[in-house]
Structure 1
Amino acid sequence: MTGRLARRAAGAAGLGLLASAFIYLALAVGGLHAPYWQLWLSCTALLVLFALLGARGDPAEPLRPVSLAEPETQQRPYRQMERWEWRLATTHGDPAWYARVVHPRLVTLVGQRLWQRHGVSLSRDPARAREVLGADLADFLAAPPATATPSPAELSRLTTRIEEI
């Protein structure tokens, strides 16, 4: 225990002695009886607890705002990009994986972006969505390729188009 905490605890113990005497006398006037040592122990324990918890509230350094993000994400802000890069790299030569994992997420991403920027729903208004997206991107999103995954050049071109939306 540091000297500061010891002084707080000693002060609380002394205050506990006075508080227990006051409570003992108040009970006696009311015609009730309680053993003094129990009153002293209870008061002192509570006051020492409050003193120690109060000392804990005096931080040596200012508090930093709490973030709900993972610590690793705070240190590596582009972690999600690495995840997408990994997903796309693992799809090379595996159309089933691409169709099951990547393509639905791209459709969701484009659908959200289309709704936020243009107020057009990809599923409810496919004609208007096709007009905004362009035939190339609309065809790409309509169905995942069955036999091959898109090439990096094709994905780059489509990603650029998605960013323009």
Structure 2
Amino acid sequence: MKGGSKYQPLLEYLQQSDRAEVVITFADIETLMDAPLPDSARHNRAWWSNRSKGALQATAWMGAGYLVKDLNFLDEQVTFHKPPQVYRVQRVNDEIQWNGELVKALRSHMQLTQAGFAKELRIRQQTVSEWEKAVYEPSRASSNYLTLVAEKAKFTLESEDP
């Protein structure tokens, strides 16, 4: 991240935190930056999206190893969380059992939107959404493909102890 970015103080604040989850008000972020947040930060959920391109603000929190977990416009606060470095998974017959949380974690690790992840997998965005919301779980073939994509993306998976 460029040292000249107005979001540099947020990056540094988060880098100094040793907590897995940080809840901070918009006002506190503005105090850190010594500048107001844009109006869109107070009304537009997309401003807070975890995207790696075209958003200096997201570069700040993602550069510090955090993702936006929750957003409360009424209380004007955001919850950042540090995703685990290693994800524990269940295996059946040595095959990873993919679920919504794991699919979302892989997508976040790859720094992709649902649409971008769907394009990468050559599936519909709606399918990604349904997996993440646990409407249904990936089929066996999709699970095997997700495992290959995870390996390619260096997404670290570790089996749970039986």
Both structures adopt the same fold (TM-score exceeding 0.5): no
RCO comparison, higher one (Cα < 8 Å, 6+): 2
Query: TM-score scaled by structure 1?
Result: 0.25
- Point out the structure with the larger strand share: 2
Look at both structures and tell me which one has the larger radius of gyration over its CA atoms. Answer: 1
How high is the TM-score relative to the length of structure 2?
A: 0.26
Higher helix proportion (structure 1 or 2): 1
